[in-house]
Amino acid sequence: MKPKKYTLRKFINDIHLWLGIGSGIILFIICLTGTVLTFENEIKSVFADEAIILPKQEVVSIEEMAETLSVEGEVMRVAIDADQTKPYKFAVKTNKTDRRGTTFLANQYTGTYVKLAPNVLDGFFMTMFKLHRWLLLDISVGRPIVGVSTIIFLILSISGIVLWFPKKKLKKLKWRHLKPGFKIAWHAKWKRINYDLHVTLGFYTAIFLVIMALTGLFWSFEWYKDAGSAVLGTEVFSGRGGEPKIKSNISANSNKVDYNTVLKITARELPFKGTTIFQIPTDENEVFSIKKLHDKDFLQTATDELKIDLDGTVISKQLFSEKPINVQIAQSIKAIHIGTIFGWFSKTIYFISCLIATSLPITGVIIWLNKLKKKPKKKFIKA
């Protein structure tokens, strides 16, 4: 009896099998923590006291509120929700190590403020984040391990798509051959159900898992970020170093506008509902920098930006919708990776995909163990 040829499909199957077994535990941890982190903000909001205030006609100026908050530290920015019953959120740098700033909630109608209380789940989600990004190890050790595992995950996703197709030549493929791969045989034996859970659910989620892997690698390797930036033709994470401060060129005798006038200009130039982020100038000659989020629209992570001179002249206006597609993609890498780009719609898809991805190492190992348990066929020798 001639030995079976070692085909390309067999090679892909072996790659899929052994890479999956070798990285199964790490991928399980990454996918499980990714599932938990998908709805982090929504889960934390359940355990947080929602701050609701009663709107009034008179609103305290941002200058006054910033001056009041200056006793806490350097006032960096203020986030203004489109909902008038939500307080302003001020970010205050309370010490040298407080780079992102501590959040203070300010009542825009009374000028009073309180420090945002820590959420009871902050520690839990921070642990999930560290597990997801570097397995609770030292960053220099854990990050490359997660990066290599993500590459393996990418290979597994692509090879899984290839193996999903039946052992038929493309010319001979018909719908009846593909149809079983789209459904789970719930009435079959448990081994077949487990097989379908791995193959069918893996196929349905493969495209989303590939997207997660491709975008996740931007945090793992600098060379990947540089290569991705080169492919996109624009730098990914370009704003991490902070924006350069722009000085005003207006004459000394020009009339300067106040912060509330700047907000009115912002509402005129960007007439849509969304959170406005007002960067508080660090000195009297710095121009106003404003960002407005489309967080009330379908494309929730889109951000429009304005630069306004001290006399109220609009220096620059950058609309996300008018940026080249490569720039839009580069600026949305994080949103694409964590599924926030289209709000609840995309986050629900990502949650389900991550949940299925968490099960794939388990169902895959069970398939492998079942194959090992198969008894060899009995050979009958003719007398």
pLDDT per position as a tens digit, 278-292? 999 888 889 999 999
CB 40 within 8 A of CB 363: no
Q: Is the pLDDT score of 67 beyond 70? A: yes
Indicate whether 335 belongs to any domain. Answer: no
CB 280 within 8 A of CB 286: no
User: Are 319 and 198 in a shared domain?
Assistant: no
CB atoms within 10 A of CB 161: 15
User: Are 146 and 196 in a shared domain?
Assistant: yes
241 pLDDT band, cuts 50/70/90, is low
Indicate whether 380 belongs to any domain. Answer: no
The pLDDT value given to residue 1: 57
User: Are 140 and 281 in a shared domain?
Assistant: no
Indicate whether 336 belongs to any domain. Answer: no
Give residue-wise pLDDT tens across range 74-113. 999 999 999 999 999 999 999 989 988 999 999 999 999 9
User: Are 214 and 309 in a shared domain?
Assistant: no
User: Are 161 and 13 in a shared domain?
Assistant: yes
Indicate whether 189 belongs to any domain. Answer: yes
Q: Is the pLDDT score of 270 beyond 70? A: yes
139-147: list long-range contacts, CB under 8 Å, 24+ apart.
143/219, 143/220, 144/220, 144/221, 145/26, 146/26, 146/30, 146/220, 147/217, 147/220, 147/221, 147/224
User: Are 274 and 295 in a shared domain?
Assistant: yes
168 pLDDT band, cuts 50/70/90, is confident
Indicate whether 245 belongs to any domain. Answer: no
CB atoms within 10 A of CB 64: 11
Q: Is the pLDDT score of 296 beyond 60? A: yes
User: Are 215 and 347 in a shared domain?
Assistant: yes
Nearest Cα to 17, choosing from 372, 356, 313, 381?
A: 372
Whole-number mean pLDDT of the chain? Answer: 91
379 pLDDT band, cuts 50/70/90, is low
Domain ranges, residue 84? 51-118
User: Are 93 and 142 in a shared domain?
Assistant: no
Give Cβ neighbours of residue 163 (< 8 Å, ≥ 6 apart): 9, 12, 13, 16, 199
CATH number at residue 108: 3.10.450
**Cα–Cα distance for residue pair 245/287, rounded to 1 Å:** 8
Indicate whether 328 belongs to any domain. Answer: no
Phi, psi of 154 (to 5 degrees): -65, -45
User: Are 13 and 82 in a shared domain?
Assistant: no
User: Are 276 and 199 in a shared domain?
Assistant: no
Q: Is the pLDDT score of 355 beyond 70? A: yes
The β-bridge relationship of strands 88-93 and 102-106 is antiparallel
Indicate whether 3 belongs to any domain. Answer: no
The pLDDT value given to residue 383: 46
Q: Which residues pair with 62 in a beta bridge?
A: none
**Distance from CA of residue 225 to its chain's centroid?**
16
Indicate whether 246 belongs to any domain. Answer: no
- Percentage of the chain with pLDDT > 70? 94
- Tell me the average pLDDT across 44-53: 85
- Domain final residue, candidates 83, 102, 118: 118
CB 33 within 8 A of CB 131: yes
User: Are 223 and 295 in a shared domain?
Assistant: no
User: Are 266 and 282 in a shared domain?
Assistant: yes
Nearest Cα to 48, choosing from 153, 150, 118?
A: 118
Instruction: Quote the number of domains for the chain.
Output: 3
Work out the angle at residue 350's Cα, subtended by the Cα atoms of residues 347 and 351, and round it to the nearest 5 degrees. Answer: 85
